[in-house]
């Protein structure tokens, strides 16, 4: 089993290029991030080239974070900003060789929001196709992100079907799915045709995967049996020095 360090949570005490180098030293096979846009492309590509690690994914910007926004693509009346965020993310992904862009929905509800979201996703998929980039959508749990538009894998798959683009996929985050739906080891193989990336963290504290209510030894074994070969995203909150939370890594890489 291969693993990707999500640098939105891991090694946040250092600049992103140095976090990439730390992930390499720790034994990760890849990296991913949230919002890398303050880092010059040349600095990012230099770190990726130096380490040989691929950057698997990044997010569209959240919007006005001072007012608590968490994505733009499902917000009626904000289509121009949402598409500018999509364009920005795809351009950055192309520049550093990243194969996935997570288009964040934001806080919204109702049929109008759904229609806006689907239209913006269709725009993103069309823009990404020529670059061989996948567009990802991720259900977030309503404890951490109350009011977020996308909350379940069922809702996500309905939207993927409605948009009808072959490069629109589900970001299956085990942490969020467990809190909202449970039954991970059935949902994972059942949803395999829809899944573009898998992430994980302990439940319920979003810490490293060596404790909590999920047995990740079993979950990762199920994922391995599915034939999944993309590095799994370690998107957990270390609550301290990241290096001291990595005891799980070598044990889990044996799958």
Q: Which residues form the catalytic set?
A: 138, 235
Question: What is the CA 30 to chain-centroid distance, rounded?
Answer: 13
Tokens of 14: 């250092």
Distance CA 254, CA 57 (A): 24
Q: DSSP for 205-232, please give it.
A: T---TTSSS--HHHHHHHHHHTT--SPE
| DSSP element (H, E) containing 198 | strand 195-200
Angle at 209 between CA 205 and CA 214, to 5 degrees: 75
Other Cβ atoms within 10 Å of 227 Cβ, number: 8
Instruction: Give DSSP secondary structure letters for 127-190.
Output: HHHTTT-EEEE----TTTSTTBS---HHHHHHHHHHH--TTEEEEEEHHHHHHHT--HHHHHHH
Helix, strand counts (H, E) of the chain: 9, 8
Q: Is the dihedral of CA 246, 212, 156, 185 positive or negative?
A: positive
């Amino acid at each position: 089993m291969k693993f990707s360090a999500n640098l939105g949570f891991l090694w946040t005490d250092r600049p992103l290029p140095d976090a990439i180098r730390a992930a390499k030293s720790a034994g990760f096979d890849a990296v991913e991030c949230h919002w890398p846009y303050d880092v010059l492309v040349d600095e990012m590509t230099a770190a990726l080239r130096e380490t040989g690690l691929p950057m698997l994914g990044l997010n569209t910007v959240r919007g006005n974070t001072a007012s608590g926004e968490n994505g733009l693509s499902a917000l009626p009346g904000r289509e121009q900003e949402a598409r500018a965020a999509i364009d920005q993310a795809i351009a950055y992904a192309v520049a550093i060789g990243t194969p996935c862009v997570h288009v964040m929905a934001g806080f919204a509800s109702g049929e109008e929001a759904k229609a806006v979201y689907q239209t913006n996703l269709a725009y993103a998929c069309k823009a990404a196709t020529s670059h061989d980039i996948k567009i990802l959508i991720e259900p977030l749990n309503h404890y951490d992100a109350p009011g977020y538009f996308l909350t379940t894998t069922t809702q996500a798959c309905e939207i993927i079907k409605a948009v009808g683009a072959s490069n629109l996929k589900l970001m299956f985050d085990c942490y969020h799915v467990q809190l909202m739906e449970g039954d991970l080891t059935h949902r994972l193989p059942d949803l395999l045709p829809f899944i573009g990336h898998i992430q994980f963290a302990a439940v319920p504290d979003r810490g490293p995967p060596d404790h909590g209510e999920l047995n990740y030894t079993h979950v990762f074994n199920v994922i391995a049996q599915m034939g999944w070969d993309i590095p799994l995203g370690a998107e957990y909150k270390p609550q301290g020095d990241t290096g001291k939370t990595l005891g799980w890594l070598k044990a889990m890489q044996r799958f």
